[in-house]
Amino acid sequence: MIIIIVSLILLADQLSKFLADKYLALSDTVPLVNGIFHLTLVHNRGAAFGILRNQLPFFIITSFIAIALIIVNLKGQQGKKFSLYNLSLSLMLAGILGNLIDRLLFGHVIDFLDFRLWPVFNIADSSLTIGVMIFGWSILKDRKTIN
């Protein structure tokens, strides 16, 4: 199940970024729902909200470390029932891999989903964010069960 989740998200992420990069000009915006949701091509050289701009080696190294830690945790879950914890790790892994691929190939992350009130992002960012939220919730849920 983990391989399927990661593969599907990676495919959707990389295909959508390829199409965005091919059909959108850098910084141009195409309104799909005017003033609410646009497609805007951005080359993000930082992390979330553009912080730590131009720190490519740092992002590549931390991505590999995070991937290794997630894989170790997933291997520790082998043989156990698929859980929210596994789902969260799968989503985080897919998100990290999606943006790492961009950084390795292009030196930046391709972002294009623009809800106007939030910085432009991509499918990998969404996967990572949702994964972190589920991760936190699953840990809090397990702590309540233990106590």
**Do 94 and 9 meet the contact criterion of CB atoms below 8 Å apart?**
yes
13, 102, 114, 125: which one is catalytic? 125
d(CA 98, CA 103) in angstroms, rounded, equals: 9
d(CA 11, CA 18) in angstroms, rounded, equals: 10
Which amino acid is residue 49, in one-letter code?
A: F
13, 102, 111, 114: which one is catalytic? 111
* Cβ neighbourhood burial of 56 (10 Å; 0-12, 13-18, 19+): middle
**Do 113 and 60 meet the contact criterion of CB atoms below 8 Å apart?**
no
Active site residue 13: no
**Do 102 and 14 meet the contact criterion of CB atoms below 8 Å apart?**
no
Q: List active site positions.
A: 111, 125
